[in-house]
Amino acid sequence: MVEAEEIWVEKYRPEKLSEIVGHDEVVSRLQSFVEKKSLPHLLFAGPAGTGKTSAALCIARELFGDGWRQNLLELNASDERGIDTIRTKVKDYARTRPIGDVPYKLILLDESDALTPDAQHALRRTMEMYTHTARFILDCNYSSRIIEPIQSRCAIFRFRRLAEKDIAQMLKRIARAEKLTLDEDGIKAIIYVSEGDMRRAINVLQAAATLKRKVDEKVIYGVSSAARQEEVKEMLTLALAGKFEEARSKLFSMLINQGLAGEDVLQQVHREVMGLDLPEPVKVKLIDKVGEVDFRLTEGANERIQLEALLAHFCLIGDRVRTT
């Protein structure tokens, strides 16, 4: 069995830039900076679990070797997001000289889009004043939330969601190392629930491995709190065919028997609508209704009523399609 304290996300985190998968162009540019030891301020932007923090830690390891921890200050800006953090911790660290032959230290601000505007303006000045002793690496999900003066001071790298083959490659590598039996249906299920997020994919695999050494589709959906893709698609097909009661029964099975949250079901409905064999104008109407129901749920509406209303709308749309 997997030991409780063993976290696979950290265990299999890349230690070199060359080990990062799915971002060949980004890695190539970063490697050229590291080889010349001429590093600008960096801004990494993209979805969660795509390798932004791993890339920053790899840069630190390759620049400083075994002494990388002494030359890297890592802060999570979502926890320490105020101006005082920039004026004290960051500024005090930036003004000290590095240990070793690299002329600067690294300051990694994780989730930097959570920094307040005042903190970002204070950071802008700090980045200017201490360029000779520190380089900043900011990573964020939304670069638009970083003020323009900071963006203009950084080389911007955009990380995209990982391709299915890249996630499958990592999952197979972990399965071999941990002596797991991971079948193709299990891999496809992990890819489906992770949505391009490598961190989530590895965590789902580890959760499944704590239950069974043979990881299949059923175990994956059991630990990931997600409905099977086929179930959601079948529910929508029934609704569009005018079989409201059967579609409603499928919905209740997901909400009650499987214990899924209404918002999770809605997100999966949104993903499956685009794969339905329907004309584009019909898909537009369905997506518009999904967006409306999502807004109502975030405002506190009853999820069962709203999702039933969504299925009823699908039935009406399906009826119009069949009669035209």
Domain residue extents for the chain: 23-158, 164-224, 229-323
Class of 229-323 in CATH: mainly alpha
Are the CB atoms for 310 and 289 separated by under 8 Å?
yes
pTM for the predicted model, two decimal places: 0.84
pLDDT at 79: 64
- The CB density around residue 15, as the number of other CB atoms within 10 Å, is 12
Q: Token pair of 168, please?
A: 């499958």
Quote the CATH superfamily of domain 23-158: P-loop containing nucleotide triphosphate hydrolases (3.40.50.300)
Q: Say yes or no: do domains 23-158 and 229-323 share a fold.
A: no
Beta strand spans in the chain (E)? 41-45, 72-76, 105-110, 134-140, 154-158, 181-182, 214-215
- The CB density around residue 264, as the number of other CB atoms within 10 Å, is 18
pLDDT at 4: 45
- Alpha helices by DSSP H, 12-82: 24-36, 52-64
Report the interhelical angle of 198-211 vs 164-177 (nearest 10°). Answer: 40
pLDDT at 20: 92
Alpha-carbon distance 135 to 106, whole Å?
5
Alpha-carbon distance 149 to 41, whole Å?
12
Query: Pairing state of beta strands 214-215 and 105-110?
Result: unpaired
Dihedrals phi, psi of 73, to nearest 5 degrees? -105, 120
pLDDT at 116: 86
| Three-class DSSP category at 47 | coil
- The CB density around residue 132, as the number of other CB atoms within 10 Å, is 10
The count of C-alpha atoms lying within 13 angstroms of the C-alpha of 137, restricted to the half-sphere facing its C-beta, is 24
pLDDT at 244: 94
pLDDT at 78: 61
* CATH dotted code for 164-224: 1.10.8.60
Stretches in the chain below the pLDDT threshold 50: 1-4
pLDDT at 85: 75
Alpha-carbon distance 173 to 233, whole Å?
31
pLDDT at 81: 64
